[in-house]
Amino acid sequence: MSVTAPGAGDATVIRPTVVEVSLARLTENLRAIETVVAPAAVMPIVKANAYGHGLVEVARHLVAQGARRLGVAFLEEAVALREAGVALPILVMGGILGNQIPLFLRHGLTLTASSVDKLRQIDAAARDLGVSARVHLKIDTGMERIGVHYYNAHGLLEQAAECRHTVVEGIYSHFANADAADLASARLQLARFLDVLQWYDKHGAAPPLRHMANSGAILQLRESHLDLVRPGILLYGVYPSAEVRRTIPVRPALAWKSRVVYFKVVTPGHPVSYGSTWQSDHPVRMVTVPVGYGDGYFRALSNIARVIIRGKKYPVVGRVCMDQIMVNIEWETAYNGDEVVLLGAAGDETITCEDVAGWAGTIPYEVLTNINTRVPRLYV
């Protein structure tokens, strides 16, 4: 569910738990990336519900800010954008099934051709439909996910040159370790990709759009920027790892908030929540907040996470439930309706995506993309 509204009050009519997305922050982050990578173009990645920020609304905003193409993972994401009126080129980067190809072509989407067989299927489907397919060739330089191996890539390039109903718009690969402190692996992958690209020089042909740089490589490996870069998590204001050099200043575009819906005093010897994993040895004030693992607030955050209420951090106690959490405010004050910051800032306190990821034993990517679509997105 998405809400575009001037203030938080409009969203809380729907539900007190909301994700607030700052479109201005998104724009700032996009401009910062564009400045550093120029003259390379930027293809924003909006897969996985735009990293939890809202697929359609974020895509529309990026188009309004001058994005020339977008990247997604799956066909259904691209179709949703087409149905929402997003008309610019959309590259679908995931693997495809043969029976999906006609749907790609009917929606004017750009396919990833990850093998000779897939490329032949695409060309045949385009011939049968009387249209021209657009593809980017995928080269596996060390990820071992999808794509033709770099040492066998010439066959794919030769087949692409023979296609009569397919336009090769781009050729790309993907880094496995570009966000690490040690860039030896990333540099090896880049060298393999550049070696594949020599095929075009040997055949006197201009290469299509060359791209490989994800968020980590955008920050750390300038020689990988080539013709196009693909910022994902960096665009949303979060750095891809703790090791990566923060060479571009970005700020988080997302805040996750809820409100106090219940207040009670819990006496000693009365455990809190499922499994009775926490109890106090003295009377405490407890508040209940309507968010839980059904919203993507990890159960692993039980008895370890903190939230901000009235400018102070307080611990989440007891097991995180599907729809609710309990917070111990000791003997301090909170009222029904008070804002609870799960992720973001209030006063002098901040809870970062990295904080939540550390508490849950995961990575910031999973924190953002795990926020369920039942949480309304509010664009401010």
**CATH code (residue 125):** 3.20.20.10
Give yes or no for residue 5 having a pLDDT over 60: no
* Same domain (yes/no): 222, 285: no
Residue 147 lies in a domain: yes
Q: What is the DSSP string of 181-249?
A: S--HHHHHHHHHHHHHHHHHHHTT----EEEEE-HHHHHH-GGG-TTEE--SGGGGT--S-SSS---S-
Average pLDDT, the chain: 95
5-19, 77-91, 157-171, 282-296: least confident range: 5-19
Q: Do residues 259 and 337 lie in contact, with contact meaning Cβ atoms separated by under 8 Å?
A: yes
Question: What range does the domain containing 134 cover?
Answer: 23-236
Which pLDDT score, from 0 to 100, does residue 13 have?
A: 56
Give yes or no for residue 212 having a pLDDT over 60: yes
Give yes or no for residue 8 having a pLDDT over 50: no
* Same domain (yes/no): 123, 214: yes
* Same domain (yes/no): 303, 262: yes
Q: Considering its fold, how many domains does the chain have in total?
A: 2
Q: How confident is the model at residue 54 (pLDDT cuts 50, 70, 90)?
A: very high
Distances (CA, A) of 301 to 108, 248, 286, 341, 359: 43, 30, 17, 15, 6
Phi-psi region of 25 (alpha: psi -120 to 50; beta: other; left: phi over 0): alpha
Catalytic residues: 47, 274
Q: Tokens standing for 183?
A: 């860039």
* Same domain (yes/no): 266, 350: yes
Alpha helices per DSSP H over the chain:
8-12, 23-37, 47-51, 55-64, 75-83, 101-106, 116-129, 153-162, 184-202, 215-220, 353-360, 364-369
How many CB atoms neighbour CB 145 within 10 A? 12
* Same domain (yes/no): 262, 351: yes
Q: How confident is the model at residue 271 (pLDDT cuts 50, 70, 90)?
A: very high
Residue 155 lies in a domain: yes
* Same domain (yes/no): 334, 303: yes
Q: Which residue, among 322, 337, 313, 307, has the nearest Cα to 273 in the 3D structure?
A: 322
Which pLDDT score, from 0 to 100, does residue 12 have?
A: 44
Give yes or no for residue 1 having a pLDDT over 50: no
| Tens digits of residue pLDDT in 218-264 | 999 999 999 999 999 999 999 999 999 999 999 999 999 999 999 99
